[in-house]
């Protein structure tokens, strides 16, 4: 009846899709000169994702992320800063508190 397609109750239909969603990050730091975002999605590279200053003084970047949990921090003028609007804080592999976002 279904041929090679998954049935409505097959395991293939019950797993999360391997899709990516655009996630919008905003950092409020009006006096900053540079802001980047580093996290598990870019191997904690402190310069691979620059954020753009907005007219209101906030900083913005959109990153397409897959389903799951992602750790990150803003890098404000070279110093790591956690996101007060994150879904939560978690300790990374080094024991430091970092921001967490869940993507579904």
The domains of the chain, with CATH numbers, are 16-103 (2.60.40.10)
* Res 6: pLDDT: 55
CB count within 10 Å of CB 45 equals 13
- Which two structure tokens, joined as six digits, stand for 17? 């899709």
Q: How far apart are CA 42 and CA 15, in angstroms?
A: 25
* Res 66: pLDDT: 96
SS3 80: strand
Q: How far apart are CA 56 and CA 20, in angstroms?
A: 29
> How do strand 97-103 and strand 52-53 relate by DSSP bridges?
unpaired
- pTM score: 0.81
Band (30; pLDDT cuts 50, 70, 90): confident
């Amino acid at each position: 009846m279904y041929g090679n397609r998954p049935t409505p109750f097959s395991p293939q239909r019950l797993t999360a899709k391997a899709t990516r969603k655009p996630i919008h990050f905003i950092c409020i730091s009006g006096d900053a000169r540079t802001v980047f975002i580093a996290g598990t999605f870019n191997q904690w590279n402190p310069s691979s994702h620059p954020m753009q200053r907005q007219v209101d003084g906030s900083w913005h970047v959109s990153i397409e992320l897959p389903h799951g949990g992602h750790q990150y921090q803003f890098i404000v003028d070279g110093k790591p800063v956690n996101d007060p609007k994150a879904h939560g804080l978690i300790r990374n592999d080094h024991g430091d508190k970092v921001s967490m976002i869940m993507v579904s």
